[in-house]
Structure 1
Amino acid sequence: MAGQWFESVAEAQRRAKKSLPKSVYGALVAGSEAGATLEDNINAFRELQFLPHVCDLPFEKDLTTTVMGQEISMPVIVSPTGVQAVNPEGEVAVARAAKNAGTAMGLSSFASRSVEDVVEANDKTFFQMYWVGDRETLAARAERAKKAGAKGLIVTLDWSFSHGRDWGSPSIPEKMDWKTILKYIPEGATRPKWGLAFLRSGKIPDLTVPNIPTQGEQPPTFFGAYGQWMFTPPPTWADVAWLREQWGSDLPFSVKGITRIDDAKRAVDAGATAIQVSNHGGNNLDSTPAPIRVLPGIVEAVGRDVEVILDGGIRRGSDVVKALALGAKAVAIGRAYLWGLAAAGQPGVENVFEILRGGIGSGLMGLGKSSVHELVPEDLIIPPNFTRQAVN
């Protein structure tokens, strides 16, 4: 990996921008509408400050924890993201990198690689589902993930199909065939590294989603699956409780997309063992506050009942420390590892994990903590009006 190492997630993003065609990079950085939530996800962390110690600091630091029944080397896991056409190996490369980092993989039902392939690459894999299709197909999809060896189920509920980005939405083809490839050659020629990686692998960017169909069906395209999702009636809390029963009462079950106390409580009532405080990386309803702003109220309300995971805006180890100090059990990263994947493939994802690991260690040392489990809100300077009232 000599010459490829980068020392910040920001540098990974810069390299990703240089490596990826404009439309592919645009899909990674996009947020909905004005991008207000996308910006707040990052800026909110900057408002929180540390007041470090200078003596009696710990030499040994313990970053290990458990999430959804899995022991992990640090409180950072992979958040599920859709078709990863930034690298030929896609989710399998991410899963291997997470395994080498000693942590868990979240696999999207809209991924470009099958749950069977990803679990083989990392047995600490959680399978994520959108509410797509009727109960029979949903139950079959969950059963397939269970048979493949997925250790937990993540149900993503935070999606309102918001669109109309002020800066324009990236152009994404419905499927990749030679006609489409010829159309995109001029754009790809400006970023030859990306195209050459796929040519060397003998593959073309695959926009089908193998985890949506049940046995015997052909995988739909990403947009085909998206269309199914759009025309599936949104679930009720009774539906969520039903899926929890189908998955199995003895297996970890997480609800993703929580930003309100009342929804957090309903998730607990539906049988969740974990919740993910998230606004879909700023890609859902714009003007939603950053998850870190609503985290304290949610932790206070349900933190004794379920594990609370946070995603949105994590770019450095100090962000992880701040989230843990406010009560999160762990954080999940999305764009950060995708930029690493685009910059240098699997080693780039591993690079991102090591950046975060180092930053967490530095944060613990500065705050005089020997373990991530010792972090508390008093480790932070929280400005007035930082938190947002999450409805009871």
Structure 2
Amino acid sequence: MASTKEWFESVAEAQRRAKKRLPKSVYMALVAGSEQGITLEDNVRAFGEIGFRPHIADLPQQREQATSVLGQAIAFPVVISPTGVQAVSPEGEVAVARAAAAAGTAMGLSSFASKPVEDVVAANPATFFQTYWVGGRDRILQRAERARAAGVTALIVTLDWTFATRRDWGSPPIPERLDLKAMLRFAPEGILRPRYLLDWARHGALPDLTTPNLAGPGEDAPTFFGAYGEWMQTPLPTWEDIAWLREQWGGPFAIKGIMHPDDARRAVDAGATAISVSNHGGNNLDGTPASIRALPAVVEAVGGQVEILVDGGVRRGSDVVKALALGARAVLIGRAYLWGMAANGEKGVANVLQILRSGIDEALLGLGRSSVHDLCPEDLIVPPDFTRLPQK
């Protein structure tokens, strides 16, 4: 169907609407990539290098998309990726969780989220809690136990972050908190985006730049930069630390940020239930190839031993199908749903999920596959030099 005021027909249209509605600094924070943005651009471009081998007759009348991730049954192979403080819309992660639940899929919640884990689980019981290695073993375990008590079904540990903040295009200014000084500074941007301000005014609050899921018992929620400072001062984790956390957690456990087959094997050795092939959406080490390029080597290294997820650059259902044909169980999306939320709140998130689900169905039909589980590399045309990564 063609785009209308309440419906957009592509993720690209959601992005265009987000750019029109969000203050410049908020929008730029969403599209940011580290340094030159080489990895950021390659995440999207790489999907375009893969072609399909379609069929035209004896096609399946019905196509099945249901699968499972980290012990959670989902209606189609797209999961909400955890993203940090969401100043895109007043209801933030709670609205995203509701949209995901209505679509029948799982919600990844960042430890740097703007909404408490308890509220998000109430909106979507299929919630995975994501943590970085912030504050040492005791603090990390304390947060994991809080998430468990809230009803979280799986733990995700994200390990790909080098603390690089350089942006050749210029990082948007992000205040420590929205006090009077900050409001005066950002007033010109807000005046140019009255709909954004009106939404927050109706909500009766300003964008919350604190991280409630990183607060210990009896502590106030730290600001984003306060939590980031603690993270920077925390000794970097070892594989022994990761294996310890896996044992303490005891349930479904994913390691996010894998780009090298060696790390994939170490993750298996540490007891991971799943791994996510990811370059942090182009926000980590610039010059790293697209996640989808790394996927085949990781599948070759550990396929069949753990569930393999992938994120980075997914903009359409056909991208999802390409990832699954190369061996992924499901994909995670980040910017796509944030643009949807910026464009039309919770309905916009639901819109993005429906776009992807419809696109998956269309690609399955064209390939003559009756199920996402039937997809395989033979459905694709992959250039010989596509992976650009070591195979062993």
Normalising by structure 1, what TM-score?
Answer: 0.98
Instruction: Determine the C-alpha separation between the residues in 2 that align with 1:147 and 1:311.
Output: 28
> CA, structure 1 residues 95+160, in 2 after alignment: closer, same or farther (shift >3 Å)?
same
Aligned residue for 1:326? Answer: 326
Quote the offset at 1:271 in angstroms: 0.8
1:152 corresponds to 2:164: no
Quote the offset at 1:390 in angstroms: 3.6
Contact 1:255 1:267 in 2 (8 A): yes
Aligned residue for 1:295? Answer: 295
Aligned residue for 1:26? Answer: 28
Within 5 Å, give how 1:167-316 maps onto structure 2. 167-248=169-250, 251-316=251-316
Quote the offset at 1:284 in angstroms: 0.2
Contact 1:273 1:306 in 2 (8 A): yes
Query: Which runs of no fewer than 5 residues in structure 2 stay unpaired?
Result: none
Quote the offset at 1:221 in angstroms: 0.2
Q: List per-residue Cα deviations over 1:302-325 (Å, max 9, x = no partner).
A: 111100000000000000000000
Aligned residue for 1:103? Answer: 105
Q: List per-residue Cα deviations over 1:238-287 (Å, max 9, x = no partner).
A: 00001111111xx1000000000000000111110000000000000000
Report the AA paired with residue 285 of structure 1: L
Instruction: Determine the C-alpha separation between the residues in 1 that align with 2:290 and 2:173.
Output: 27
Contact 1:106 1:128 in 2 (8 A): yes
Quote the offset at 1:182 in angstroms: 2.5
Give the one of 134, 152, 166 matched to 1:164.
Answer: 166
Q: List per-residue Cα deviations over 1:154-211 (Å, max 9, x = no partner).
A: 0000000122211101111111123322221111111111111000010110000000
- 2:68 alignment partner, SS class: strand
Within 5 Å, give how 1:61-80 maps onto structure 2. 61-80=63-82
Aligned residue for 1:382? Answer: 382
Contact 2:81 2:109 in 1 (8 A): yes
Q: Give me the identity figure in percent.
A: 67
Aligned residue for 1:4? Answer: 6
Instruction: Determine the C-alpha separation between the residues in 2 that align with 1:321 and 1:197.
Output: 36
Moved more, 177-186 or 326-335: 177-186
Contact 1:79 1:105 in 2 (8 A): yes
Instruction: Determine the C-alpha separation between the residues in 1 that align with 2:211 and 2:389.
Output: 38
Quote the offset at 1:106 in angstroms: 0.1
Within 5 Å, give how 1:55-134 maps onto structure 2. 55-134=57-136
Contact 1:132 1:138 in 2 (8 A): yes
- Give the superposed CA RMSD: 1.0
Quote the offset at 1:139 in angstroms: 0.9
Contact 1:298 1:390 in 2 (8 A): no
Instruction: Determine the C-alpha separation between the residues in 2 that align with 1:163 and 1:80.
Output: 19
Aligned residue for 1:136? Answer: 138
Query: Which runs of no fewer than 5 residues in structure 1 stay unpaired?
Result: none
